[in-house]
């Protein structure tokens, strides 16, 4: 087969049955020129043994601790392909998806990342038409819109096919300090910072089980990680003028979120948001170090980055959680 064109990387933590289904779906793929790497975050459910026994084509990367979705970085030195398809373990791919994503990247040199449409695994009806991010640095997915099957720019996505050269510029796919949540938004903004873009390809479908792998994380922990990572991304990736302009908006929206949590008796979540704000403030020295590296690679102004931002979904009932 020679040097694989695409390196497919899964990250897994105690998701043996999910991972088995995801790996099996690759056998139906119309794309055959690939290698498979599985990053396992110290699972104790027999995931490693299952991969070794049942999927001889897959190479197992063993992390000694659970590093969350950012543990996927451990596979990067072993990726031989010119493209990296990074995936979670709670999805299955349509047979034609990989080829369709690859075709988009090969036809558009300004695209660094091509991502599939997410379709509900169980009912095959509910899907995500893409992602959105507000200047308040809150973000999410939104439901199907009038664009149908049109390929379009979106700000980010947590899975997709990316040019390895884009990853190599930063030295990592996802910021290793994030663990999980907003690592995908950070990647999307860094891509735009390079003057490149992320394209949503509706004809490439991933059947998603909607965060099955993260069900064990308490809501307060999720809120802390999300708020901390969103604010870190804000300070790390954006230009100084944008930070000064949007900082009041970002913190006002967080105050509203905290008040909402209190009014709905979600006191642990409200406290987690407050803790996240202070965690970011106390981490400013390390954030500034990261910022120096990221900004040194900047090839596009904030005006280009902000073209991917919108406010119309922030209070919309059509937004969904993935």
Give the per-residue pLDDT at 51: 97
Percent of the chain with pLDDT over 70: 93
- Supply φ then ψ for residue 131, to 5 degrees: -120, 165
The mean per-residue pLDDT over the stretch 216-240 comes to 96
- For the ranges 98-112, 268-282, 303-317, which has the lowest average pLDDT? 303-317
Question: Which of 3.40.50.970, 3.90.79.10, 3.40.50.11540, 3.90.550.10 is the CATH number of 1-322?
Answer: 3.90.550.10
Give the per-residue pLDDT at 260: 96
Instruction: Give the start-end residues of each E strand in 121-238.
Output: 127-133, 139-143, 152-154, 160-163, 197-208
Tokens of 312: 């119309």
pLDDT at 194 exceeding the cut of 50: yes
Per-residue pLDDT tens for 259-279?
999 999 999 999 999 999 999
pLDDT at 127 exceeding the cut of 80: no
- For the ranges 85-89, 277-281, 312-316, which has the lowest average pLDDT? 312-316
Give the per-residue pLDDT at 210: 66
The mean per-residue pLDDT over the stretch 91-112 comes to 96
pLDDT at 319 exceeding the cut of 60: no
Where does the pLDDT of residue 293 fall: very low under 50, low under 70, confident under 90, or very high at 90 and above? Answer: very high
Where does the pLDDT of residue 213 fall: very low under 50, low under 70, confident under 90, or very high at 90 and above? Answer: low
Task: Give every CB contact of residue 69 below 8 A, 6+ residues apart in sequence.
Answer: 11, 88, 158, 174, 178, 179, 180, 183
Mean pLDDT over each residue of the chain, to the nearest integer: 92
pLDDT at 318 exceeding the cut of 60: no
Neighbours of 8 (CB within 10 A): 28
Identify which of 246, 252, 248, 222 has the alpha carbon closest to the alpha carbon of residue 234.
Answer: 246
pLDDT at 211 exceeding the cut of 70: no
* Contact between 97 and 161 (Cβ < 8 Å): no
Identify which of 31, 270, 249 has the alpha carbon closest to the alpha carbon of residue 135.
Answer: 249
CA distance 98 to 161: 8
Where does the pLDDT of residue 58 fall: very low under 50, low under 70, confident under 90, or very high at 90 and above? Answer: very high
Tokens of 249: 């908006």
Give the per-residue pLDDT at 1: 45
* Contact between 130 and 58 (Cβ < 8 Å): no
The larger pLDDT score, comparing residue 283 to residue 142, is at 283
Q: Are strands 91-93 and 111-120 parallel, antiparallel or unpaired?
A: unpaired
pLDDT at 123 exceeding the cut of 90: no
Q: Are strands 139-143 and 127-133 parallel, antiparallel or unpaired?
A: antiparallel
The larger pLDDT score, comparing residue 251 to residue 213, is at 251
Per-residue pLDDT tens for 134-173?
999 999 988 765 556 889 999 999 999 999 999 999 999 9
The larger pLDDT score, comparing residue 5 to residue 52, is at 52
Q: Does residue 266 sit in helix, strand or coil?
A: coil
Identify which of 203, 187, 27 has the alpha carbon closest to the alpha carbon of residue 102.
Answer: 203
Percent of the chain with pLDDT over 90: 85
The larger pLDDT score, comparing residue 212 to residue 279, is at 279
- For the ranges 38-52, 146-160, 227-241, 307-321, which has the lowest average pLDDT? 307-321
The mean per-residue pLDDT over the stretch 51-56 comes to 96
Give the per-residue pLDDT at 192: 98
CA distance 185 to 45: 30
The mean per-residue pLDDT over the stretch 121-135 comes to 83
CA distance 242 to 182: 19
DSSP single-letter state for residue 317: T
Domain boundaries, the chain: 1-322
Helix axes 267-282, 240-263, angle to 10 degrees: 160
The larger pLDDT score, comparing residue 317 to residue 18, is at 18
Give the per-residue pLDDT at 313: 87
Cα 268 off chain centre by: 26
């Amino acid at each position: 087969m020679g040097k694989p064109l695409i390196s497919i990387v899964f990250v897994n933590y105690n998701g043996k049955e999910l991972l088995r289904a995801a790996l099996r779906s690759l056998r139906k793929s119309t794309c055959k020129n690939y290698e498979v790497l599985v990053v396992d975050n110290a699972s104790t459910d027999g995931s490693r043994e299952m991969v070794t026994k049942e999927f001889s084509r897959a190479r197992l990367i063993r992390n000694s601790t659970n590093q969350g979705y950012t543990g996927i970085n451990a596979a990067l030195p072993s990726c031989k392909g010119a493209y990296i398809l990074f995936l979670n373990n709670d999805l299955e791919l349509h047979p034609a998806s990989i080829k369709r994503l690859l075709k988009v990247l090969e036809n558009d040199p300004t695209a660094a990342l091509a991502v599939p449409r997410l379709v509900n695994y169980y009912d095959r009806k509910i899907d995500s038409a893409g992602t959105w991010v507000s200047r308040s640095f809150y973000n999410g997915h939104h439901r199907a819109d009038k664009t149908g099957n049109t390929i379009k720019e979106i700000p980010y996505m947590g899975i997709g096919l990316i040019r390895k050269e884009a990853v190599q510029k930063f030295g990592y796919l996802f910021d290793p300090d994030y663990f999980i949540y907003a690592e995908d938004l950070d990647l999307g903004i860094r891509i735009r910072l390079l003057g490149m873009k992320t394209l949503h390809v509706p004809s490439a479908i991933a059947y998603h089980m909607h965060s099955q792998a993260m069900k064990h994380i308490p809501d307060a922990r999720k809120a802390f990680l999300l708020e901390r990572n969103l604010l870190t991304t804000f300070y790390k990736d954006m230009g100084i003028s944008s930070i000064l302009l949007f900082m009041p908006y970002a913190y006002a929206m967080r105050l509203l979120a905290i008040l909402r949590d209190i009014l709905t008796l979600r006191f642990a979540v409200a406290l987690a948001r407050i803790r996240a704000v202070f965690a970011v403030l106390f981490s400013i020295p390390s954030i500034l170090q990261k910022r120096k590296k990221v900004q040194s690679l900047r090839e596009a102004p904030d005006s280009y980055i902000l073209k991917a931002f919108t406010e119309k979904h922030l209070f919309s009932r059509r937004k969904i959680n993935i």
